[in-house]
Amino acid sequence: MCGRMVLDVGYDDLGRILEEVQDICIPPHHAFAWSPRFNLAPTQEAPVLLREGDEHALRLHRWGLVPRSAADDPDGFVQRYQTFNAHAEAVTASRLWGPLFQAQRCVVPLTGWYEWLERNGAKQPTYFCARDRRQLFCAGLWEEAPTASGALRTHAIVTCESGPFLRRIHGREPVTLGPAGVRRWLDPESSLDEVLGLLAAAPAGRLDAYRVGPVVGDGPELIRPVSMRRTLFD
């Protein structure tokens, strides 16, 4: 499960990374204010990448998917049903996820996320990120629900069973996408088999992990290692 995440770049840098790494250009009229965050939690806003017609767009969505039927109590729904993650195994058959999987896929950029490893009765925060320390791009689903104050746009991160690297700490991991996978996931013309084929654990060598201190507050100090070892598994 991915319940706290990091996106350590601002809007302009994120747009540059998308253009350089993913060959995706975001039109300037989509701009919004966004600063680096190191402790993003469900129900908070985060950038997501969408296809809107022939364009790609970055939008701010609340993390934790809320269907139209629950728009009057979004926080309660997310807390009750834990809809900040969507299990890859359920995205085609679920009444909640199935229609979104068909038509409302998004990509969630992040730098890393936290899991808590239990050791000697205490929980040690562990930070997961790309081995090359670049941004990760995760498969997501999104929804828009009308409310009295305007449209409520929300999203969930798709997770799958963990691969061998992460399984030692947690049973699930976000579905991370390579450049070709990002385009395929967002393309409304992609076949069902093509997008289902993306729902897999990260390939060997993509991820890294190390222990960090208490995840309290918000700042770059949260992702500093607490030991001299370069990674958790050195």
Confidence category of residue 47, pLDDT binned at 50, 70, 90 = very high
Q: What confidence tens digit (pLDDT) does each residue in 162-205 have?
A: 998 888 888 999 999 999 999 999 999 999 999 999 999 999 89
CA dist 110 and 186 (Å) reads: 17
Is 0.85 surpassed by the pTM of this model? yes
Q: Kindly list the structural domains of the chain, giving each domain's residue range(s) and its CATH number in brackets, ordered by start.
A: 5-223 (3.90.1680.10)
pLDDT of amino acid 148 = 83
Q: What confidence tens digit (pLDDT) does each residue in 87-104 have?
A: 999 999 999 999 999 999
Flag the least confident range among 15-19, 63-67, 228-232: 228-232
Residues 199, 91 contacting (CB under 8 angstroms): yes
Q: What confidence tens digit (pLDDT) does each residue in 122-159 have?
A: 888 999 999 999 999 999 999 999 888 889 999 999 99
pLDDT of amino acid 123 = 86
pLDDT of amino acid 192 = 94
pLDDT of amino acid 1 = 61
H or E stretch at 18: helix 11-21
Residues 200, 181 contacting (CB under 8 angstroms): no
- DSSP for 162-208 reads --HHHHTT-SEEE-B--HHHHHHHH-TT--HHHHHTT-SPPPTTSEE
CA dist 108 and 105 (Å) reads: 10
Residue 84: name the closest of 123, 138, 23 by CA.
Answer: 138
Residue 212: name the closest of 117, 70, 141 by CA.
Answer: 117
Positive/negative CA dihedral, 97, 3, 30, 77? positive
Residue the block writes with tokens 């730098």: 111
pLDDT of amino acid 63 = 97
Residues 136, 153 contacting (CB under 8 angstroms): no
Confidence category of residue 229, pLDDT binned at 50, 70, 90 = low
Q: What is the mean pLDDT of residues 18-28?
A: 90
Max CA distance (Å), the chain: 53
Confidence category of residue 231, pLDDT binned at 50, 70, 90 = low
